Amino acid sequence: MLQGRLSEETEVRVAASTVWEVYRGVELGKLVDQLLPDVLGRVEVLQGDGGVGTVVKLTFPQGTPGVGYLKERFIKIDDEKRVKETETFEGGFKALGFHLYRVRLEIIEKDSESSIIRSTVEYEVDEEHAANVSFVSTKALGIMAQTVGTYLAQKINAEHQHDPNCA
């Protein structure tokens, strides 16, 4: 059995609490749908309201290698540590012979106006499917973090420009 872990950190100019509000539940999927349908695909909530046990289906963009979709379950949401974990249970890497494919998203406060989004993938796969490890990447998670961070920063700036109380 092969086990591995990949991690990527993306700094964003948005407060950790603001980023966490998006990342903790189903809002992240809605933003992916809106901002990255051609990169990450379409996200659909199949069950739940964004808490532990929520099930989402991600349908990959046309031309993505593999089975074309994955279903994952939210297995951990820690508001204090700003950590969310999901596990794929159908499609995606499960269809490629992986026993475990877990994504951990962590929002780390840098200062009052910036934070770091740490995206980690953990996996376990049999020796016979070891070649499929080459498909494991945090690239899509990094693109998602950068895009969501930029979107939130622009949204905050726009709100401040329209607020007469902000100088």
Residues recognised as catalytic: 84
Token pair belonging to 167? 């100088």
Hey, is 124 helix, strand or coil? strand
**Residue 47: DSSP 8-state:** E
**Residue 36: DSSP 8-state:** -
How many degrees, rounded to 5, is the angle at CA 29 between CA 101 and CA 161?
135
Q: What is the DSSP string of 63-108?
A: T-SSSSEEEEEEEEEETTTTEEEEEEEEEGGGGGTEEEEEEEEEEE
CA distances to 30, 32, 72, 97, 100 from 129, rounded to whole Å, are 33, 30, 21, 6, 13
